[in-house]
């Protein structure tokens, strides 16, 4: 058995759009969104984030465009697919895989923070409710994804994200 390498991503940035909650065919909750991570000089990197299960429901309910959030101990994931034009494309995303993986740093300016007590109560409820963030393996057909066919060997429920996004990933139009 080989050693495990380090794959840990920590980010702080602002949501570019409201997260959209979706359900996989196995009734797993998933939410995708992008955050703008300020590089200074009025420039930013736009990073796609994927959140699963109860944490996805929490994020969809309480996080909104403009909110500053932190992603802690996420993991970088890559996927490859054949595009409609015959070229191969790679998508890079951050998977927030543990409960404390995504937290609200601050609401956007001038927004009422009265939801803070609800956030705290629901976060505690979700934390106390045990859930499994491991992704089970599913057989995926060669269904067209982004006008192409999925070619990654890592088939799992998180791949359903691509089935649910026809022509878009997260909040980016590709």
Mean pLDDT of 60-67: 93
**Range with the poorest average pLDDT among 10-19, 23-32, 117-126:** 117-126
Distance between CA atoms of residues 51 and 167, nearest Å = 20
pTM for the whole structure:
0.63
* Contact assessment for residue 13 and residue 3, using Cβ atoms and an 8 Å cutoff: no
Output the pLDDT for position 97: 77
Write out pLDDT tens, residues 125-153.
Answer: 555 443 333 333 333 333 322 333 333 34
Would the pLDDT of 94 be above 50? yes
Mean pLDDT of 13-17: 95
Domain boundaries, the chain: 9-173
* Contact assessment for residue 91 and residue 70, using Cβ atoms and an 8 Å cutoff: no
Taken in order 52, 69, 17, 9, is the CA torsion positive or negative?
A: negative
Hey, what are 13's tokens?
Answer: 């940035």
Write out pLDDT tens, residues 71-80.
Answer: 998 999 998 9
Domain 9-173, CATH 2.40.50.140 — does that match?
yes
Mean pLDDT of 28-34: 94
Hey, what are 57's tokens?
Answer: 């429901």
Q: Which residue has the tokens 């191969």?
A: 88
Q: Which residue has the tokens 């999925």?
A: 150
């Amino acid at each position: 058995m080989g050693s495990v390498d380090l794959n840990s991503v920590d980010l702080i940035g602002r949501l570019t759009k409201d997260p959209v909650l979706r359900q996989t065919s196995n009734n797993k909750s998933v939410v995708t969104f992008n955050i703008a991570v300020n590089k200074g000089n009025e420039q930013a990197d736009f990073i796609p984030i994927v959140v699963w299960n109860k944490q996805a429901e929490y994020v969809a309910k309480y996080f909104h465009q403009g909110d500053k959030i932190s992603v802690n101990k996420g993991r970088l994931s890559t996927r490859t697919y054949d595009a409609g034009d015959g070229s191969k494309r790679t998508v890079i995303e951050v998977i927030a895989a543990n409960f404390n993986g995504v937290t609200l740093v601050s609401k956007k300016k001038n927004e009422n923070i009265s939801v803070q007590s609800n956030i705290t109560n629901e976060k505690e409820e979700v934390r106390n409710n045990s859930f499994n963030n491991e992704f089970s393996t599913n057989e995926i057909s060669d269904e067209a994804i982004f006008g192409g066919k999925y070619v990654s060997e890592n088939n799992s429920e998180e791949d359903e994200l691509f089935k649910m996004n026809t022509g878009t990933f997260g909040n980016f139009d590709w």
